[in-house]
Amino acid sequence: MTKPKLIFIVAGLILLIQASIAQKTSFLDHLRIGFGAGANGAHIIDLEPYNVYEDLTGETYKNSYSGLLQNIGNQYFVQAEWFNDYIIIAMKPGTYTYRFSKINEVVFTNETVEQVTPYLLRYLSVPIEVRYNLDFLRFRPYAGINATYSHLLGSHDASNQTFIRPKISAGAVAGTYIDLRYIILDVNVGYHAGVHNIASKPDRFETGSGSTFAQNDILLNDLQVSLSILFSLQKQKHYSNVECFY
C-alpha cells in the first residue's frame, strides 16, 4: 500500500471515529468548527552541508538557505476544536505551503556568482494543538503546544524530489479567541520546529532539471500566523455586544 493511500485511510478512520463520538450530545456542546488561513515564514536550520562545488585552490563557497523573512508561505485549513473551561484541543488539517531558496556561491577571479534555487513545498498537514486558555469573556487568550504530521504533496518541480515525503514538527502556540457571539475568531501565532531532517539522503543530488546543487541536511522550522473563524455548536454565552456596552 502506498503511503498517500495509507494517510487517506487513517484520516478517514479518524473522521469516522470523530463522527461516532459526535453522536453524543455532550461532546457536541463542546465542539467548535470553522476554517482559517494565514502566512508563514520558513526557518531553515542547516544540520550538515553538502556543497556540490569544490574549490581546487582550497576556498570554501557559501552554501546556505534564505532567511525567515524572505520565506513567506501560506496555509489554508479547516479547524475543529473540543474544549472545556480551560483546555482546548484543536485540529487544523489543511495545506501548508512553505517557500525558501538554496543559495550556492561560485567564486571566480573576476566574478562571484550566486546560484539561487527556489523551492515551494506544499504539505498536507494535520496539526494537533493542546491549548490552555483563560476566560476574559470576549477575549480568551491561550498558550499551548503543537504536534504536526505532514505529507509532501507531488510537484512538477524536479528539485522537490530531494526531499522526503513525511515531516513531523512540534512547537508552541499562543493567541486569543475573540468571541463575537455568533462567530469566534481565533488569532494564532506558532513556532514549529522540525524534529527530523527533511532532505532525502539518497536523492540529495537528484537535481532534476533545475540548478545543479546538493541539498543539505535541513530542518524545516516555521513561524505561523493564522486567523480562523469558528462556529460554536454550544448555546451562546450571555455577553453579547449589547450587554457588554451597557
Residue ranges binding another protein (CB under 8 A): 3, 6-7, 10, 13-14, 17, 21, 50, 52-59, 61, 82, 84, 86-87, 89, 106-111, 113, 128, 130, 147, 149, 158, 164-166, 168, 196-197, 200-202, 205, 207-212, 214
- Please report how close the Cβ of residue 12 comes to another protein at its closest, in angstroms: 11
Closer CB to another protein, residue 197 or residue 228?
197
**127 forms bridges with which residues in the sheet?**
148
Closer CB to another protein, residue 15 or residue 180?
15
Closer CB to another protein, residue 141 or residue 208?
208
C-alpha cell at 92: 487544523
Q: How far apart are CA 214 and CA 53, in angstroms?
A: 9
Inter-CA distances, 138 with 29, 32, 166, 234, 239, Å: 19, 16, 39, 15, 7
Task: Report which of 211, 192, 177 is spatially closest to residue 32, judged by C-alpha positions.
Answer: 177
Task: Report which of 4, 37, 45, 42 is spatially closest to residue 150, judged by C-alpha positions.
Answer: 4
- Please report how close the Cβ of residue 182 comes to another protein at its closest, in angstroms: 27
Closer CB to another protein, residue 95 or residue 240?
95
- Please report how close the Cβ of residue 177 comes to another protein at its closest, in angstroms: 18
- Please report how close the Cβ of residue 209 comes to another protein at its closest, in angstroms: 5
Closer CB to another protein, residue 138 or residue 165?
165
Q: How far apart are CA 144 and CA 130, in angstroms?
A: 5
Inter-CA distances, 30 with 13, 77, 134, 147, 230, Å: 21, 20, 16, 22, 13
- Please report how close the Cβ of residue 246 comes to another protein at its closest, in angstroms: 33
